[in-house]
Each structure stands twice: as C-alpha cells, then as structure tokens.
Amino acid sequence: QSVLTQPPSVSAAPGQKVTISCSGSGSNIGNNYVSWYQQLPGTAPRLLIYDNNKRPSGIPDRFSGSKSGTSATLGITGLQTGDEADYYCGTWDSSLTVVVFGGGTRLTVL
C-alpha cells in the first residue's frame, strides 16, 4: 500500500488529453514539493516535472504539473503512442522521513 494514491490505469486516444491524480496528506504533498517520473517499458524512470510544476530542459510542454492542498495532478496533452508508460508521483514525507512514491499509473494510448 503506497503512501501516495494514484489510479492504477488511465487511457485516452491519440491527440487527446489525460490527467493523472496523486493524493496524499499534510505530511507529504501538503507541505512538500511534488515531482513526476515517466517510466517507459523496460527503462529507468525519467524526471518529467519537479517542484510541482516545473519542467526540466528537454521535456515538452505537453506535460504539465499542478498541486492543490494534499493532491497533485499530471497533465499530458496531444497524446502520442510513445507516451505509453508508467507514471509515478513522488515527494518527501516529513513524518516518515523518507521520499515516498505513488503506486504508479499505467497510461494506455488507444
């Protein structure tokens, strides 16, 4: 059971938009920055979003992040088949004193 809660799967058609939610509590999302990672099949995770809504260089602006209270959301627009991957949210948990991740969301582009 993960500390952060994500939907197990989401799906949408190519070109469409999808959002992935990440729910936590005051000891983690509520008081710390959230980051998002993309893990393509058989590869290592890659940083997509940091500090709630910032994109590293090289990440297209189709990817966006937001945070409100104890929840965060990853948005992906203009879906491509190459976006099919597992997506993880992560943040520091001040009570557990550990970086925690969500259980991951598998995105299927139909």
Partner 1 sequence: QVQLQESGPGLVKPSEPLSLTCSVSGDSITSFYWTWIRQPPGKGLEWVANIYYRGTTNYNPSLKSRVTISVDTSTNECSLEVSSVTAADTAVYYCARAHSWNGYMDVWGKGTTVTVSS
* Residue ranges that bind partner 1, judged by CB under 8 A: 2, 32-33, 35, 37, 43-47, 50-51, 56, 88, 90, 92, 96-104
Put residue 25 in one of left, alpha, beta given phi > 0 → left and psi -120 to 50 → alpha: beta
Least distance from C-beta 76 to partner 1, angstroms?
Answer: 18
Q: Output DSSP code: residue 18.
A: E
Q: What are phi and psi of 81, to 5 degrees?
A: -60, -30
> Is the Cβ of residue 33 or residue 63 nearer to partner 1 in the bound state?
33
> Is the Cβ of residue 71 or residue 105 nearer to partner 1 in the bound state?
105
> Is the Cβ of residue 45 or residue 75 nearer to partner 1 in the bound state?
45
Rounding to the nearest 10 degrees, give the CA dihedral for residues 94, 56, 102, 28: 20
Least distance from C-beta 37 to partner 1, angstroms?
Answer: 8
